[in-house]
Amino acid sequence: MPTLLTKRTSVVGRVPTAQQLAVGELAINLADRILYSKDSGGTVFSLGAGGAAEAYLFAAAVSGNYLYIGRLAESDIPNSGSPESATAWTIYRITSNAAGDVTATASAVGAFSNKQNLTYA
């Protein structure tokens, strides 16, 4: 299984700039526990806020030319059953072409187990 490495920093408060990230590329601030990416409009956004106040479950999957990254708040994890079936996941879909270039990004809310059947905007 291949290892996925992202751009990273351990400097508190450091956020990547739009010039430092390609569309759909990931970067993590290990000190703040925040994951970042950039959308097709050039805006850098966080995929979750770390620290003691908030906790998230993350999941990732690849299917064809899609990379799915899901985020579920700890408070939305069900007491029983699979967390993948919880319907409060925020799922980011990153589309790439055969050369590996990101061609589109979109998101949806729903069960991670149903990620391929959601409507992404």
Q: Which tens digits make up the pLDDT trace of 57-102? A: 889 999 999 999 999 988 888 888 889 999 999 999 999 988 888 8
Record the pTM. Answer: 0.60
Task: Assess whether pLDDT exceeds 70 at residue 119.
Answer: yes
Residue 53 CB coordination number (10 Å): 6
End-to-end CA distance of the chain: 30
How many structural domains are present in the chain?
1
In a domain, 42, yes or no: yes
Q: Cα–Cα distances in Å, from 41 out to 55, 57, 105? A: 28, 27, 10
Residue 67 sits in which domain range?
7-117
User: What is the model's pLDDT at position 41?
Assistant: 85
In a domain, 99, yes or no: yes
How far apart, in whole angstroms, are the C-alpha atoms of residue 18 and residue 119? 27
Tokens read off for 48? 């979750």
